[in-house]
Amino acid sequence: MPLQKNQIIPLAIQRLSSDGSGVGHWEGEAVFVPGTAPGDQIQARVVKDFKRYAFGIVEQIDQPSPDRIPADCPVAGPCGGCSLRHLRYQAELQAKQASVADAFQRIGGLDVQVEPILPSPQVDRYRNKVQFPVGLDKQGKPCIGFYAGRSHRIVPCGDCKLQPAILNRIGQTLCGLFGEYGIQPYDEATGQGLVRHIFLRQGAHSGQIMVCLVCTRPSLPHAGQWVEQLRSQFPDIATILINVNRQNTNVILGPENHILFGPGSIEDTLCGVPVRLGPFSFYQVNTPGAEQLYAVAAAYADLRPDDLLLDLYCGMGTIGLSMAGRCRELVGVEIVPEAIESARANAARMGGEIAGKSRFFCADAGQAAARLAAEGLAPDVIIVDPPRKGCDQATLDAVVRMAPRRLVYVSCNPATAARDAAILTREGYRVEKVQPVDMFPRTGHVETVILLSNRYPKQNIEA
């Protein structure tokens, strides 16, 4: 019998889905319920049914899981950013490990051993980037928070546990200054107001902080006064900018920046690679976690001094540059022009030896890989770090044609990684290792590094 909206059903939560929702079954149909833990016995209210699966919300917890803990954030539920804050961290790791193993078995059809997941060096306060929407609280005062799930309703949050305390304090201080100087938050409904978002970055190693206010115009009232007050309270602030976004859009950043103080960027290092970060820079948000991830990728690459390393979807070039000292030549490919400019600048900052052996160019990964293969480029090792949708077929075809000795696949989505690994195994590759890495504690996301070895090196390109 089909489930009905608002029907209340008993559910035993068996596992977590890729987004962190609990999964139970009712008469063979999977039911996804946010905020639950494996082992929970609950009463669930059905909110939507798609015949083969359904979504529900917790009506009542009859028997809590042994792994359930009290959430230590008062807005964890309505905010939704920490979808697993109600779960013991060890249980969270086990669930993420299981999700990776399930993806490779069920989606990839691959019988591979998944290595024990590497926990994040920091479970809380690990994010080096913060994007607060700005609104008004119930008293009509400027406030920061996060959008509630599937809405643009701001849930005020003064101290997000995922973010460094100093960045939370800067956000709160700015709201006080907005109130003091009559600077109004932007109202999506009316199109009135000035400040849309507060965007903050902090260098994990340098400690430098960037403050970027996303506004509807390039200037704010009394900028000299509040900039000076902010700097006096937070001496680690290295730069303050206004980013202009005049459009009625969900996109946070607009196309232009105006510097109020400092150079317009901050500096940091990642695995020894010096980086310069502005508002548009793509950068891993968990620096200690990223360094752990890169260490696994470097071990899997197992570079030799005469190797040519190809880094596809290279971003700012950090993963390839972190290994450049171990190989003869590095080639990086990325579709975002600003990222390629940053990669070249990062290589230059590493000195003449690294810059001389590194080249980066801007192109779609699939098209660039196909072109390089057609030109006869024969990389010994290829690293791919694609977006959540995984590699396109052109990229996979070109990788096979270039026939590297090793392929290191860095993934933020176990499902597409398993799919792509299965395609590559049919083309002569063997999955040697699968290493989950927790980069985003208290959320459902998990990174995975996969090592694939070529059973027939160089034969494909020679053919």
Which stretches of 281-428 are assigned E, i.e. beta strand?
308-312, 329-334, 358-362, 381-384, 406-411
- What is the token pair recorded at 230? 């902010």
Alpha-carbon distance 391 to 423, whole Å? 11
Catalytic-role residue among 157, 175, 215, 412: 412
Alpha helices per DSSP H over 43-88: 76-79
Nearest partner of 445 among 4, 16, 2, judged by Cα: 16
Whether the CB-CB separation of 377 and 402 falls below 8 Å is answered with yes
| Known active-site residue 412 | yes
In a 13 Å sphere around the CA of 401, the CA atoms on its Cβ side amount to 17
Question: Could you identify the residue written with the tokens 């950013």?
Answer: 81
Over its C-alpha atoms, the chain yields an Rg (Å, rounded) of: 24
Alpha-carbon distance 322 to 160, whole Å? 31
DSSP lists the bridge partners of residue 8 as 45
Whether the CB-CB separation of 324 and 306 falls below 8 Å is answered with no
Report, as residue numbers or ranges, the catalytic residues: 412
